[in-house]
Structure 1
Amino acid sequence: MHPDHEAPWSAPADAKEQPRQVRRILRLFRPYRGRLAIVGLLVGAASLVSVATPFLLKEILDVAIPQGRTGLLSLLALGMILSAVLTSVFGVLQTLISTTVGQRVMHDLRTAVYGRLQRMSLAFFTRTRTGEVQSRIANDIGGMQATVTSTATSLVSNFTSVVATIVAMVALDWRLTVVSLLLLPVFVWISRRVGNERRKITTQRQKQMAAMAATVTESLSVSGILLGRTMGRSDSLTKSFAEESEELVDLEVRSNMAGRWRMAVITIVMAALPAVIYWTAGMALQLGGPEVSIGTIVAFVSLQQGLFRPAVSLLSTGVQIQTSLALFQRIFEYLDLPIDITERADPVRLDRVKGEVRFEDVSFGYDDKGGAVLDGIDLTVPAGGSLAIVGPTGAGKSTLGYLVPRLYDVTGGRVTLDGVDVRDLDFDTLARAVGVVSQETYLFHASVADNLRFAKPDATDEELYQAAKAAQIHDHIASLPDGYDTVVGERGHRFSGGEKQRLAIARTILRDPPVLILDEATSALDTRTEAAVQDAIDALSANRTTLTIAHRLSTVRGADQIVVLDSGRAVELGTHEELLERHGRYAALVRRDAQLEPTR
């Protein structure tokens, strides 16, 4: 079974945090306070109309029927029918508005979380399971739907009904009202205990759901299925998933049964109260107490029964709200994540980018505890020039390249584009200026044309064709039954590794950036295809600044400069010929490639 993969910032809300959370939740509804005011008016009107019915009933029993006043009887009966009609109409309108508001709040939350995550650095996603992120958006926000769409309105509606009913009960007979409300404080205390218990269980349940979502995302993807089948782990993965599901079953049962017996006692006592009222009224009459009319008793019991439903619902709503606090807490954790890749308040915008890239005493580390991934890097790539970054695995090659488009931010020194610190540039300028073809090509489950147009949404068909031709992939796409309308499949698994790589190159060509970052861009290609794509890259790189991150040195020999990284430091810099003459690290890497060449 997977361990708990909660991020280190996750912490359950304690009692002191609850008021702050409630205020924060209420702020979510602030943009819709006009509509909520209408809901409040409808709730108030419905409550007033509903409590009028017992008074009409009292008049029927005490006046209209005993005195034979048929006209008054008809009018009172009509009033009761009208009360039911108005209550129903108000209820439908209230539900429509409150559900609309709730769904808008859900939309705001989903969009806020998604937007927040879009602004996180690459480091966040390298340490967080994809299923965990998906679970926060799908399961946690989805689990709050009842709270934001109906619970809030139910709370107001039931509270108003309870208050209006109690006032009406006091107006009928204050002594019977005291008898009816004696146990109310006990009921409130029980419901709070149940709510706290369910909130703790809900936190555990959502964590387990996140773990299951991560398992499903990883093991039921195309890559996960391939790995599981080829490693003979399908049965063990199924067993592991069954264990996680079994734990979720236990948490779901505990969540639903938490305090169920205590709430059942409340229900039984509330249902027995009418009998207590009849007994109290009868005993008072027998003992010579004040006489209570039959109409008053029936009307009072009717009000009491009317109080029963909203009172129990109000207590249950309180339990639901406390349970929902656990879900809101998990969402607020994501909304409160510190964003380490931010745009300045007054960013620099470059209308035309030449493409000079400088690394000035650049250092980088993923966190304060780990060692430096890069240390003291000083490099200059003139506009239109090319730099190849080579070195052993783990030397920091990809990290250095990713500092230019700000997938990471330097922890020391600075990276400049045309003399401007990339941290001072606006995001749009940086996105237009720097194109990245990464080692792992990602394609959406959409058509080939849609995947290419992700780089340039308004691209014409002819522009797609030209980009694909430059990447040596047009002929293959044209040969497919649906051509550019062919759906690539999840993560592009309908295409070979080399074909996906060429599609990614075509996508970058279409974007036409002045600066190119090629991170092992030809690593998945065979020798023949690599040569063809390399020709396309060479043509594309003309008059553009190109940083090529390479493990295979055959692709970088023509670079203007080659820098060799080792343990995060630049240990050699020069052309291919110059570095060979030094008989240093680069020469050793070339000899390694020569030894590996026959096995390819």
Structure 2
Amino acid sequence: MTATTAHDTPRDAQSRLPGGRGHGLGGGRGGGAPMQVDPQDRAQLELKPVPVRRVAALFRGFGRPIGIVTAIIVVTSVISMAQPFLVREVVDVAIPQQDVGLLLLSVGAMLAVAAVTQVLGVVQTWMSTGVGQRVMHRLRTDLFAHLQQQSLGFFTRTRAGEVQSRLTNDINGMQGVVTTTATSIASNLTTAVATSAAMVALSWRLSLLSLIVIPPAVWMTRRVALIRREVTARQQSRRADLNVQIEEGLSVSGVRLSKTLGAGRRHAERFTSTSSELVDLELRSQLAGRWRMATMQVVFAAIPALIYLVAGLPATSGGMTIGTLIAFTTLQAGIFRPLMGLLNVGAQWVSSMALFSRVFEYLDLIPDVAAPTVPVAIDPEAVRGEVRFEDVSFAYALDAPDAVAHISAVVPAGGSLALVGHTGSGKSTLASLVARLHDPTSGRVTVDGVDLRDLDPEVLARIVGVVSQETYLVHASIRENLLLAAPDATEVELWRALGAAQVADLVGSLPDGLDTVVGARGHRFSGGEQQRLAIARTILRNPRVLVLDEATSALDNDTERALRDALDMLTRGRTTITIAHRLSTVEDADEIAVLDHGRIIERGTHRELLERGGRYAALAGSPAYAEAA
């Protein structure tokens, strides 16, 4: 199944995270920077809409803490509105009348309001973050497990950065939605309503004035922020480019490529150019909308001035007290922040739902190679290891030609089959079907008569061991790499496997021995050493069926001969399917099958095929085989 979605690079996904582009409320008197609906977010939702009930289902079981958080938000907003009224009481009554009791009571109430709202804020953050983290943990682990079930074909079609972006950036963005965006919307709404009600309660005349001056002030704030937003978006893009250049230019593979191509100077010049652009963008960011910002500051200064004017004129004051004026200006100054937050709700909603859409899209992927619903019960230790290909065909895509076509073969338990042929003849594809990295388009592959599609994947992995020409070692110690195959293996078993793979002396000579870190992708060791460590890992797993996909391709002739002895001992009594281009690795096989364009054109023993003088004899006479011989 192809991933026909609007995939993101990590940079693109990061730029759309709530908070990554200034989502939320921001700070300052003018409120937070406004959000714009990202066209890619809108396109994602059009491609794969997200039902609200599916998002709501994520929070099933969290109804009580969500209700408590909502109640805390409302209570906090209401309690905080008491502060201006307490200030008015102090200024208008307590101080003029020298009422010490009232003064102490009012000041104590102010401190109590501050303390209570802060404590409630801590509780709210703790509860909302707890809910968000548990929901995100479940999503993250479900997505990781689901992606582990995808076939090898999915990962060859999809860039690794896209998979990582969904699992990290999008999930982290959703965490912001759950723990910040939803609560900030509720908080902004209740704060705006409570503040407006308090303003009207203090002075309906000044509230009418605010209705006139607040909308243009909010509009100008958004205009200035949008100008800065455009420059900031370009800054983020350039910073992302800079990070990519650092990753590509300073990684092990990147440095190797740079040195072998002599591209170091070009990389440095490219990095310098990008860094220079960041300098220019930073200057523009600081100066963007400077005149508008200055005008906005004048407006903000004019608002309280107008309020003071209205309050001071006999015709409009309505007998307003100094305390009421101070309380009102305090409320009026604080209303900009929640209003700006509410103006972002639409864009926040689209951005948030787009994040859910991208994650759900991967969760909805149907694995090409699906685990059986009811697997056949089989004991890996009791498996004899007979492998059968029954009229097997396979194509990598529906409209692609068959990579292998109508293959029928039997490898008896404990027997060996060698697959040879030119590059692209289908050898590795056929072997990959035995490990069930792919499923046949038609026909079936069986072990002891059981279709591989009916076996539990973990059971199959214990039955079939694979050593391929593309060795992969994780960035960990040698011990940890070996224990991937057998987590419960003892120290003796580890060294026995290393000895069988002809690499024990090398590991023993290292200062840290088994605890030596192999480095990124095993780059600390040579290709041949990596290959032997991978072979040791497979030996440790002790499978009944072995697939050796050019397992000795990275070894020189002397090392290969030493390893051949170990492999001969390993393969005794085990079914072995070998893919190789070296004559020395196939001449002793029970049967050799010659493939061409996905079909078996010859089969027999080494001697029989040589005597026929056909394709195999021609391959044996090629320089590569002559060298191996």
Is TM (by shorter chain) over 0.5?
yes
**2:192 paired with 1:162:** yes
CA distance in 2, matches of 1:362, 1:115: 29
Task: Tell me what 2:5 maps to.
Answer: 9
**Which region of structure 1 is more displaced relative to structure 2, 387-396 or 372-381?**
372-381
8 Å CA contact 2:218–2:340 kept in 1: the answer is no
Cα deviation for residue 327 of structure 1 reads 5.4
How far does residue 361 in structure 1 lie from its aligned partner after superposition?
2.1
- Residue 206 of structure 1 and its aligned partner are, at CA, apart by 8.6
TM-score (norm. length: structure 1): 0.85
Query: Kindly tell me: are residues 8 and 216 of structure 1, through their superposed partners in 2, closer, same or farther at Cα, counting changes over 3 Å?
Result: farther
CA contact (8 A) 2:195 2:335 kept: yes
CA distance in 2, matches of 1:214, 1:193: 32
Residue aligning to 2:593: 563
State whether residues 501 and 522 of structure 1, in contact with CA within 8 Å, keep that contact through their aligned partners in structure 2. Answer: yes
CA contact (8 A) 2:42 2:350 kept: no
| In the alignment, structure 1 residue 225 sits paired with structure 2 residue 255 | yes
Q: d(CA) in 2 for partners of 1:261 and 1:112?
A: 51
**One-letter amino acid of the structure 2 residue matched with residue 300 of structure 1:** F
With 344-353 and 566-575 compared, the bigger mean Cα shift is at: 344-353
1:2-53 CA-to-partner distances (Å, cap 9, x unmatched) read: xxxx975216232893883776655555554433333223222221211011
Q: Which residue of 1 aligns with 2:583?
A: 553
Whole-angstrom CA distance in 2 between matches of 1:516 and 1:43: 62
Aligned to 1:588: 618
1:310 pairs with 338, 346, 353, which one? 338
Whole-angstrom CA distance in 1 between matches of 2:6 and 2:291 = 32
User: Which residue of the partner structure matches residue 534 of structure 1?
Assistant: 564
Kindly indicate whether residue 312 of structure 2 is the aligned counterpart of residue 286 of structure 1. no
| 1:419 equivalent in alignment to 2:413 | no
State the TM-score, normalized to the length of structure 2.
Answer: 0.81
1:501 paired to 2:497: no
Asked whether the 8 Å contact 1:360–1:379 carries over to 2, the reply is yes
Which amino acid in the other structure matches residue 194 of structure 2?
Answer: A
Provide the residue aligned with 1:449 in structure 2: 479
Greater shift in the superposed pair: 260-269 or 213-222: 260-269
Query: Residue in 1 aligned with 2:552?
Result: 522
CA 1:199–1:312 in structure 2 vs 1: closer, same or farther (change >3 Å)? Answer: closer
Aligned with 1:298 (options 326, 339, 349): 326
The answer to whether 1:79 aligns with 2:109 is yes
Cα separation, partners in 2 of 1:68 and 1:526, compared to 1, 3 Å: closer
What is the match of residue 358 of structure 1? 388
CA distance in 1: counterparts of 2:282 and 2:566, whole angstroms: 57
Superposed counterparts of 1:30-429, under 5 Å: 30=60, 32-142=62-172, 146-182=176-212, 219-240=249-270, 272-283=302-313, 285-286=314-315, 290-315=318-343, 330-352=358-380, 353-429=383-459
Superposed CA RMSD in Å reads 3.9
User: 1:76–1:204: structure 2 CA closer, same or farther, 3 Å change rule?
Assistant: closer
- The answer to whether the Cα contact below 8 Å between 2:42 and 2:354 also exists between their aligned partners in 1 is no
Number of aligned residues: 592
Q: Distance in 2 between matches of 1:207 and 1:413?
A: 50
What letter is aligned with 2:5? W
Structure 1 stretch displaced more, 422-431 or 205-214: 205-214
The 3-state SS of whatever aligns with 1:20 is: coil
Q: Secondary structure, in 3 states, of the residue corresponding to 1:403?
A: helix
Question: Please, which moves more after superposition, 200-209 or 123-132?
Answer: 200-209
Query: Structure 2: how far apart are the matches of 1:359 and 1:327?
Result: 44
Cα displacement (A) at 1:90: 1.8
Whether the 8 Å CA contact 2:170–2:359 is kept in 1: the answer is yes
The answer to whether the Cα contact below 8 Å between 2:44 and 2:354 also exists between their aligned partners in 1 is no
Over residues 175-208 of structure 1, what are the superposed CA-to-partner deviations in whole Å (9 max), with x where a residue is unaligned? 4334324576778889999999999999999998
Equivalent-residue separation in structure 2 for 1:572 and 1:563 (angstroms): 6
**Separation of aligned partners in 1, 2:320 and 2:557:** 101
Q: 3-state DSSP class of the match of 1:167? A: helix
Alignment partner of 1:384: what SS? coil
SS at match of 1:379: strand
Once the 2 structures are TM-superposed, how far is the Cα of residue 123 of structure 1 from its aligned partner?
2.0
CA offset digits 1:121-171 (Å, max 9, x no partner): 222332344344444445554566654443333332222222222222233
Query: Distance between the aligned counterparts of 1:69 and 1:266, measured in 2?
Result: 41
Letter in 2 for 1:522: T
* Matching residue of 2:12: none
2:29: which partner in 1? Answer: none
Aligned to 1:3: none
- The answer to whether the 8 Å contact 2:420/2:595 transfers is yes
Secondary structure of residue in 1 paired with 2:473: coil
Paired with 2:82 and 2:467, the residues of 1 have a C-alpha distance of: 72
Deviation per residue, 1:554-585 (Å, 9 max, x gap)? 20111122111111122222222222222221
Checking the alignment, whether the CA contact within 8 Å between 2:50 and 2:357 is kept in structure 1 is: no
Give the distance between the partners of 2:145 and 2:531, measured in 1 at CA: 28
Decide whether aligned partners of structure 1 residues 55 and 86 sit closer, same or farther in structure 2, where only a CA change above 3 A counts: same
Residues 392 and 198 (structure 1), Cα distance of their counterparts in 2 relative to 1, 3 Å cut: farther
Shift of 1:253: 9.7
* Cα distance in 2, alignment partners of residues 589 and 436 from structure 1: 25
| Pair 1:496–1:111, CA change in 2 (3 A) | same
2: CA distance, partners of 1:222 / 1:30? 46
Counterparts of 2:361 and 2:231, CA distance in 1: 18
- 565, 568, 578: which one pairs with 2:608? 578
Moved more, 520-529 or 568-577: 568-577
Question: Which residue of the other structure, out of 502, 507, 515, is the alignment partner of 1:472?
Answer: 502
Q: Is the 2:387–2:448 contact (alpha carbons within 8 Å) kept by the matching residues of 1?
A: yes
Note the C-alpha offset of 1:506.
0.9
Partners of 2:597 and 2:622 in 1: CA distance: 18
CA–CA separation in structure 2 for the residues paired with 1:429 and 1:221: 37
Give the secondary structure class of the aligned counterpart of 2:581. Answer: coil
Contact 1:131 1:214 in 2 (8 A): no
1:242-298 CA distance string (max 9 Å, x none): 667778899999999999998997787566433343334445x416x8544444333
Equivalent position SS for 2:64: helix
Name the CA distance, whole Å, in 2 between partners of 1:14 and 1:522: 51
The worse-fitting range, judged by mean Cα deviation, of 464-473 and 270-279 is: 270-279
- Residues 78, 471 of structure 1: CA spacing in aligned structure 2 closer, same or farther, 3 A cutoff? same
Asked if structure 2 preserves the Cα contact closer than 8 Å seen for 1:121 and 1:339, the reply is: yes
Q: Alignment identity in percent?
A: 56
How far 1:427 moved relative to its partner?
1.4
CA distance in 2, matches of 1:347, 1:360: 20
Structure 1, unaligned runs of 5 or more: 1-5
| Aligned mates of 2:471, 2:418 — CA distance in 1 | 20
CA distance in 2, matches of 1:293, 1:537: 96
Partners of 2:398 and 2:5 in 1: CA distance: 16
Give the counterpart letter for 2:431 in structure 1: G
Alpha carbons 1:559, 1:575 under 8 Å: kept: yes
Alignment check: 8 A CA contact 2:45 2:354 kept = no
